Amino acid sequence: MTHYIANLRDIEFTLFDLLKRDEILEKGPFAEVDRATAMGMLEEVKRLSEVDLAASFVESDRLGVDFNPATGDAKLPESFKKSYRAYMDGEWWRIDAPADLGGTVIPPSLRWAIAEMILGSNPSIHIYASGTAFAHVAHMLGTERDRNVARLMIEREWGATMMLTEPDAGSDVGAGRTKAVDQGDGTWHITGTKRFITSGDSDLTENIIHYVLARREGGGPGTKGLSLFLIPKFMFDHKTGELGKRNGVYVTKIEHKMGLNVSSTCEMNLGEKEPAVGYLLGDVHEGIAQMFKVIEYARMMVGTKAIATLSAGYLQALAYAKTRVQGPDLTKAADKASPRVTIIHHPDVRRSLMVQKSYAEAMRALVLYTASIQDEIVIKQASGEDPTKLAELEALNDLLLPIVKGYGSERSWTLLGTESLQTFGGSGFTQDWPLEQYVRDAKIDTLYEGTTAIQGLDFFFRKIVKDGGKAIRKIGKEIGAAAASGGTHADLKVQLGAALNEVNTAIGSMVGMAMASQDEPKEIYKVGLNTSRLLMNVGDIICAWLLIRQADVAAEKLATASEKDKAFYQGKIAAAKFYVETVLPHIAVDRAIIEKTDNSVMEIPENAF
C-alpha cells in the first residue's frame, strides 16, 4: 500500500446527499454525465491516486529536482515521471480542456472532487499538469492566434507557469519592473527577473508556455499598467507546433524549499542571454484582470490541496490510533497490571481525532459547496438567462474563494502539525510515516497565491466592502434560516444562530472602523489587525452550517441504514455536535477582541519588538 487513502465515501455523500448534485446531471451543459458515470470517474481516480500517483510521493520528495545551472534545465525523478504519465495517459487533463479542443464537460463540483484525490496523493502531479487549465484561459480570452496556442498546448501536452512575483516586489504585484517592448510585428521583447515560479522548468514536457505580467513602454504605474504575455520556452511553428530555437527565458536558480521538493520552484530571467519573445494575450492591455482568471483557479486548487492533505493525514492518524497499543484505559490507570489498550481508547486521542475528522469533512464540504456555486454559474452561462442571478452567483463564488484558500490552508496546516502528526507521538517526527512530509508540503499552501493575510484583506475590502455586503448578507441569510429552522439538531442550530450574530456584529464593527478612517486615517489599522481573524470566523461559521446540514441528512438516513452505513451516519452527527460545541464558542471571544482593538500595537517603536 502507498501512503494515500481516499475518502470516496464522504466525497459521494457530500456531492449527492448533501449538495444534491445528481439533480444537475443529464441536463443542460452536463447532459452527457449521469450519476453512474460520475461515480465511475471518481472510483477510477481513487484507484489511480492510491496506486499509480501515490507510488512516487516519497521518493520524489527525497530526490527532488536535478538542476543544471549551466543549461538552466531541470530534471525530475523517473518514478515521478512514471506517475505523471499515468495521469496524462489516463487523459484526466480533458476535464480542464475546452469542449471544442477535446475537453470533457463535467460539473465543477465533480472536477474538484476528482482534484481532491489527485492533490492528496501527489500534489505536484496536479500542479505540473495545470497546462490544460492555463490553455483554457488563453482559449477563452485570446485572439485566434492565442486560441491556436491553446490548441497546441493541449494537443502536445505542454506545461505552463504563471509569472507574477519579482524579487523586490513580492506580493505587491503592481510594483513589478519587468518590461515589455513592442517589436511591431505582433511580438514583444520582455526583460526582467521573476522568482518563486512554480513548475518553471522540467523534463515532463517538450515546451512550456509562461504567462508573464510585464509593464509595456508607456504603461502606467501599479497593476493597471501591467499586461499579460505568453512566452514559450521554445519558439514553435504555429500550425504544427514543431519546436524551433530556444527562447530567451531561463531558470537561474531552483529554490531549496522545506517541502513540495519535486515541484521546481524557480528564479527566472527573461531577456538577458537573448530576447525573450512573447505574445500579448488578446492583444489588449488587461493583464491583471486576465491573470486573475488563472489566480482564481490556482487559489481554488491550493485550498483543495490543503484540505485533501488534512484528510489524508487524519485517515493515517486514525489507522495508527486503532493499532498502536500504549498505556491502560484511563479508568484503570491506578492498576499497574491492567491490560494495555490501543491509543484510540484514550480521551485526548479521541478529542484529537474528532477535531481532525470534523474539520476535514467540513472543509471538504466547503470546497464542494463552493464548486456547486460554480456549477450553477456554468448552467446560467449556458442558458444565457437571468444575468442578475448570474452576477449574484459570481459574487458568492468570489466571496468563497479566499475562504477556501486562506481558511482552508491555515486550518489544514495547523491541524496537520498539532493533531495529525501529534497522534503518532515521536514516530510522527520521523520519515517512517508520511505525516512529516504532509506538514512540510502543506505549509506552502498558506503562502501560495497570496498569504493568509492577503486573503483576509481581499475578503474584507473587496468581497465585503466593495461588494456592499451583498454576497455576505446572502449567505448569512441562508445560514440564519437554517439556524432558525428547528427540528432535528435544534440545539446545534441555536448555537449556530448565536455564533452568526457574533460574526455579523464583528463585521459591523469593522465596517465602522473603515468608515471612521475617512476622517481619521489611522483607524484603518484596526481593520488590518482583524481581517485574518474575521476570515477564520466566517470560515468556521460556514463549516458549522455545512456540518449541521450533513447531520440532518445523516439523521434521516440512519433509521433505514445498513449496519455498514450506520457508523458512517453516526460519525456525521457526532462531528457536527463536536464542532459546534468546541469551535463556535471561540467566535464570541474573537468578536470581543475585534470590538476592543486599539492602535497601541501600531504605536510601539520598531526597536521595542
Q: Are 118 and 54 in contact (CB under 8 A)?
A: no
Assign 3-class secondary structure to 564-602.
HHHHHHHHHHHHHHHHHHHCCHHHHHHHHHHHHCCCHHH
Grid cell for residue 167: 524579487
Q: 22-29 long-range contacts, Cβ below 8 Å, gap at least 24?
A: 24/107, 24/375, 24/379, 25/107, 28/379, 28/382, 28/383, 29/105, 29/378, 29/379, 29/382
Catalytic residue (choose from 449, 520, 556, 581)? 449
Close Cβ partners of 307 (under 8 Å, ≥ 6 residues apart): 116, 360, 363, 364, 366, 367, 408, 412
Q: Of 101, 106, 92, 90, whose CA–CA distance to 32 is shortest? A: 106
Distance CA 456, CA 471 (A): 16
Distance CA 162, CA 342 (A): 48
3-class DSSP assignment, residue 419: helix
Any bridge partners for residue 230, and if so which? 211, 279
Residue holding cell 506545461?
Answer: 159
- Exposed, middle or buried by CB within 10 Å (0-12, 13-18, 19+), for 218? exposed
∠ CA 418-420-425 to the nearest 5 degrees? 80
Q: Of 312, 331, 328, 348, whose CA–CA distance to 423 is shortest? A: 348
Residue 449 annotated to the active site: yes
| Four-point Cα dihedral 606, 176, 123, 231, nearest 10 | -170
In sign, the C-alpha dihedral spanning 570, 576, 582, 585 is: negative
Give the DSSP H or E segment for 278: strand 276-280
3-class DSSP assignment, residue 335: coil
Active-site annotation, residues: 449
